[in-house]
Structure 1
Amino acid sequence: MLYDLLLKGGTLVDPAQQLHAVQDVAFTDGKVAAVGADLSADQARQTLDVAGHVVAPGLIDLHVHVYWGVSHFGVEPDPTCIARGVTTVVDAGSAGADTFPGFRKFIIDVSDTRILAQLNISSQGMLTQEIGEFEIPEYADVDKACRMIEQHRDLILGVKVRLTRNSIVSERSGMLPLHRAREAADAAGLPIMVHPQDAWCDSLDDVLAVMKQGDILTHCFHGMKCGVLDEAGQVRPAVHEAVERGVLFDVGHGAGSFSWEVAETALSAGLAPHTISSDLHVYNLHGPVYDLVNVASKFLHLGMDLDDALAKVTSVPAQVIGMPDEIGTLAVGAWGDAVVLDVRQGQFQLADSGGEIRTGTQRLEPLVVVKGGRVYRQY
């Protein structure tokens, strides 16, 4: 047999190749072997008829929390990520230098979901609600972070810092964690990912002033202090300037970090997110996030077309990760990760982080998940 698996008759949407057409996709030895019209089912050990559905690269979520059993935020990765079409995720700072080895051994190395990571500049990571990552400034340990990055260069993509006052950052720690994250990232030659809301500063301008090309501002449509809008409800000039110099804006929906009003205002002013991510964790798994496809469905409601929304969960995050030829595409030779999606029509209640409801008319739903060229889950 030429192929291990053939997905036949589906509409291939692969933004990396600018493809949106009825095409068959075949897999051999864990990789994409062929893409074309009317590939022979006689040459495949297993053929799935996916006519009428969208075939897309395995989805990529740039912001999750999957250090289950250690971080209070953690969810189990496989039932919540790969089982829902997300074959690659980036854990956004659940682990710091003191806790990363356990994260690798007990979660990353034994999960079917491909897990990469942003290392928290707080050495303890995100352990508990009762003690913030920066209750004391000493938790922001540059030397420890750099040593851990060097030991795990294959997994660590950057340095994460959360800046919310009081609950995460004590007053005496102030903005020090941001600058320590910058120092560690620069020393390692990596970007930072910043959670900015309600930081110990006057506005988001102070945070963006520290950010460079390739850095990621997550939670970009939150509705709290230190957001993308100014007091008059307009996108801050510093935000447009940051986009121009290459700072990446990521959704990071979360339990408290996505506002319909902010998103609508920002999009109407031309501020679109570079990437759509979920910030999936135990406090939003059962709403309002649920999974990445639900978050992407919200952007369909906001007027984003399907190809653009899928690009922001496939090809663009693949570029951010630095793996555009391996993941986020179904080009021949790419790793064999795919998802078959049903684009359902109807009336769907979509909630933001504040409980405000919009009624959408489209919802994405995974039907088949392929990992490494084999069917992982079929609904």
Structure 2
Amino acid sequence: MDIIIKNGRVIDPGNQIDDILDVAIKDGKIFDVGRKLKLDTQSTYDATGLIVTPGLIDAHVHCYQYATPLGINPDDACLSRGVTTIIDAGSSGATTFLGLRKFIIDQSKTRVRCLLHIAMHGLAAAGCAGAAPGGESDTLAILDENACVECVEANRDVIVGVKVRLQSSVCDKGRLEEEAYRRALSAAKRCGLPLMVHHCDSAVPTQTTSPGKLGCPKDLQAGDIYTHTYHGYESTILDSKTKTIHSDVIDARSRGVLFDCGHGAGAFNWTVAEMATKQNFWPDLLGSDLHTQNQEGPAYDLPMIMTKFLYLGMPLNEIIKSVTSSPARAYRLNSIGSLSKGNDADVSILRIDDCDVSIEDCIGQTRHVKKRIVPVAVWRGGKEHPVVIAGFGSKPVTTKISRGNLERALIKD
């Protein structure tokens, strides 16, 4: 054996395991998981009192560093926080994807897979990050369905889905939202891959009233992903008057549409999350939507998103599931997401610390948190990498964004 991780609480939802066990790694693969394994090994790691999980998977990140305004470094912001795999959520499109592949996917120690944006340039323009008016879908000429499909077909080893943003400000003030949505739905269907939809401040309704009008999530299919689930702006999942979840949202979940946290810099609202989870509407995926404008607050990293849902009362095993087996299944990542024998040896070790801190959402509201999930150690393909724990305290630009978000929010404390 290369290493045995001993005496940890192994939580592996994909294999329905929650027990004190050892994990043996050999040649970059999971060799065995069992009680008090007696195997010759080069080294051991004592995980007594710690939580051992399959390598964490962040279902929603932006990591096209330097080529897009939002791109973070995946090794610094993700692997060092215990996250072994990330899904870049549409930073590149058909004409910019090869740069993402060459300079990020192929160069990173973190495993990077991606969703291809229906817009050919992805999120390369400044307006896509709020630095200037407009956005990536302001003209139909850039929404080339055939180019999207061709790029996916040529790169199926790393492209795992399609992405579209439904937000009036990035679709020519809403004029092109329906057509962008229609083309993204068609491209994903042609490729047989999931579509992730950013749905926020959108002219496409969350709850449809006209039979012939496209709705989101009404027109999503099983396996598609609705992200930014807990924002409180126009097109929130809640009826702003009754504070109950829209029936189209409940129906979508019942037919297999997946719901992603997609925290980001603007899409997590404590009030909405509390109202929704009290109605038992928990996320399927805990994507952080980590990028340059939130990595120093209010998102910080994936363990912080997990901490927020621990505070909300989400069972620990469900939290672990939402960052391991569920995203692996959603994106068809067959060699990770569980500690099954022969899988890639991606392993994360976590600890739940006592704390006494106020943690902010994306509109400046805070909640007082007493327990925090932090990374302790991580192995990617059997190789250990150093980890760090995020600090607290949003930077000034984040505080400014929060103030603007508060003004837009329909639902808040």
Say yes or no: TM over 0.5: yes
Match of 2:178 in 1: 175
Letter paired with 2:333: M
Match of 2:349 among 340, 343, 357: 340
Letter paired with 2:368: T
Q: TM-score, normalised by structure 1?
A: 0.96
Q: Is residue 2:364 matched to residue 1:355?
A: yes
Match of 1:242 in 2: 252
Q: TM-score, normalised by structure 2?
A: 0.88
Is the contact made by 2:152 and 2:159 (CA closer than 8 Å) also made in structure 1? yes
For 1:110-259, list aligned pairs within 5 A. Answer: 110-127=107-124, 128-129=126-127, 130=132, 131-205=134-208, 206-231=215-240, 232-259=242-269
Q: How many residues align?
A: 375
SS of residue in 1 equivalent to 2:187? helix
For 1:244 and 1:378, locate their aligned partners in 2 and report how far apart those are by CA, in whole Å: 38
Is the contact made by 2:161 and 2:331 (CA closer than 8 Å) also made in structure 1? no
Match of 2:292 among 282, 288, 302: 282
Query: Cα offset for 1:378?
Result: 5.3
Where does structure 2 lack aligned partners over 5 or more consecutive residues? 209-214, 389-413
For 2:48 and 2:147, locate their aligned partners in 1 and report how far apart those are by CA, in whole Å: 52
For 1:305-316, list aligned pairs within 5 A. Answer: 305-316=315-326
Query: Cα offset for 1:136?
Result: 1.3
Match of 2:79 among 59, 77, 82: 82
Match of 1:63 in 2: 60
Letter paired with 2:284: H
Letter paired with 1:194: V
Match of 1:26 in 2: 24
SS of residue in 2 equivalent to 1:110? coil
For 1:32 and 1:158, locate their aligned partners in 2 and report how far apart those are by CA, in whole Å: 27
Which deviates the most, 330-339 or 24-33?
Answer: 330-339
Over aligned residue pairs, what C-alpha RMSD do you find?
A: 1.4
Query: Cα offset for 1:40?
Result: 3.5
SS of residue in 2 equivalent to 1:207? coil
| Residues 1:24 and 1:132: Cα distance change in structure 2 (over 3 Å) | same
SS of residue in 2 equivalent to 1:66? coil
Letter paired with 1:362: K
| Residues 1:169 and 1:275: Cα distance change in structure 2 (over 3 Å) | farther
Give the % identical residues.
39
Match of 1:264 among 249, 271, 274: 274
Which deviates the most, 49-58 or 292-301?
Answer: 49-58
Is the contact made by 1:5 and 1:374 (CA closer than 8 Å) also made in structure 2? no
SS of residue in 1 equivalent to 2:85? strand
For 1:51 and 1:378, locate their aligned partners in 2 and report how far apart those are by CA, in whole Å: 18
Match of 1:299 in 2: 309
Where does structure 1 lack aligned partners over 5 or more consecutive residues? none
For 1:82 and 1:169, locate their aligned partners in 2 and report how far apart those are by CA, in whole Å: 37
Letter paired with 2:9: T
Letter paired with 2:222: Q
Which deviates the most, 110-119 or 223-232?
Answer: 223-232
Is the contact made by 2:167 and 2:177 (CA closer than 8 Å) also made in structure 1? no
Is the contact made by 1:370 and 1:376 (CA closer than 8 Å) also made in structure 2? yes
SS of residue in 2 equivalent to 1:284? coil
For 1:296 and 1:14, locate their aligned partners in 2 and report how far apart those are by CA, in whole Å: 16
Residue deviations 1:85-120, cap 9 Å, x none?
Answer: 110111000000110011101110110111111100
Which deviates the most, 203-212 or 215-224?
Answer: 203-212
